[in-house]
């Protein structure tokens, strides 16, 4: 089994169990992460993001398929299902993940998903109408970054 496949399996098996500590051991000390909501995160920030998301996830399930993997890359398709926000709306998020790997650790992870589709599920009719507008995406990104910053500040 290639390094990329083993690492992706370890990461996603931990994710399925909402085990952020195990997920975070998969990252190098100088990793980066980006997705449509959390952009340009450092190692500390991505580790805090997984802690925060795993601790708050409700009714969570995950399915994944490793599309391709070798010694330095992994490409994974996943479907995360969870309840989101105060209204606990059901979200089925279809994510394509690309990982760059050095020395058996993730150095760069880029997750991609349809923000409008996610917003429609996460925010209901409000998200359906506003999810296609850049200002709404920027607001969601700013709110997510603020929550992450608060989470990291509480850990200090």
Give me the pLDDT at residue 44, please: 97
- Phi/psi at 50 (5° precision): -65, -40
- Report the number of secondary-structure helices (H) and strands (E) in the chain: 6, 6
pTM: 0.94
Q: Are 1 and 70 in contact (CB under 8 A)?
A: no
Domain ranges of the chain: 3-155
Q: Within its chain, how far is the Cα of 56 from the centroid?
A: 13
pLDDT tens-digit readout, 67-111: 999 999 999 999 999 999 889 999 999 999 999 999 999 999 999
Q: Is the pLDDT of residue 156 over 80?
A: no
Write down the mean pLDDT value for the chain.
Answer: 97
**1-30 burial string, b = 16+ CB within 10 Å, else e?**
ebbbbebbbebbebbeebebeebbebbbee
Q: Are 15 and 94 in contact (CB under 8 A)?
A: no
Topology of domain 3-155, CATH: Nuclear Transport Factor 2; Chain: A, (3.10.450)
Percent of the chain with pLDDT over 90: 96
CA angle centred on 52, ends 48 and 55, rounded to 5°: 135
Give me the pLDDT at residue 57, please: 87
């Amino acid at each position: 089994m290639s390094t990329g496949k083993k690492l992706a399996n370890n990461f996603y098996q931990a994710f399925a169990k909402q085990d952020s500590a195990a997920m975070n051991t998969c990252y190098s000390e100088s990793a980066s992460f980006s997705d449509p909501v959390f952009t340009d995160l450092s190692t500390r920030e991505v580790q805090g993001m997984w802690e925060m998301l795993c601790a708050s996830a409700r009714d969570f399930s995950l399915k994944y398929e490793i599309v391709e993997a070798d010694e330095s890359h992994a490409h994974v398709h996943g479907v995360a299902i969870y309840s989101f926000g105060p209204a606990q709306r059901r979200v089925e998020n279809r994510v394509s993940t690309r990982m760059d790997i050095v020395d058996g650790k993730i150095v760069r992870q880029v997750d991609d998903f349809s923000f409008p589709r996610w917003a429609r599920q996460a925010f209901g009719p409000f998200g359906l109408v506003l999810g296609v507008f850049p200002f709404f995406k920027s607001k969601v990104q700013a709110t997510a970054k603020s929550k992450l910053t608060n989470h990291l500040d509480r850990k200090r």
